[in-house]
Amino acid sequence: MDIIQTIGIGLVAVVISMLLKQVRPELALMVVMAAGVIIFLGIARQLQEVISMFERIADRANLDFIYLPLLLKVIGIAYLGEFASMLCKDANENTVAMKISLAAKVLILVTATPVILSLLNMMLGLLN
């Protein structure tokens, strides 16, 4: 999905939402959420291409990218957490949005812990 399509989907959703908000506010919210999901799915396909490119580069260079899956998982948690948080904000559920953001940050820390521990062990090894 290119930027023109993304903008088009977003603008159409906003116009429809504005028209529906006066008559059926709950449907207006659904339109905005559906547009967000469609945009996210379009972007997710492009992210898959980036992931494939990283894997091809690692294969060509004969690199053992043991932390690549962890890095991709952290990036995924960050994007999904932000996306869910924005959907909640669209629904005027700011408290839930803040909780989702906090949960995503904690999950990122938990997921990154093996990398952090490995770096700390390497630094301790250098000091000894």
| C-alpha span between 106 and 113 (Å, rounded) | 11
Q: pLDDT band at residue 9, thresholds of 50, 70 and 90?
A: very high
| C-alpha span between 81 and 74 (Å, rounded) | 10
- Give the start-to-end residue ranges of the domains of the chain: 1-53, 66-128
> Which segments within 4-111 are labelled E, that is strand?
none
Q: Is the pTM of this model over 0.85?
A: no
The pLDDT tens digits of the residues spanning 12-69 come to 999 999 999 899 988 998 998 899 889 988 888 888 888 888 778 877 877 666 777 8
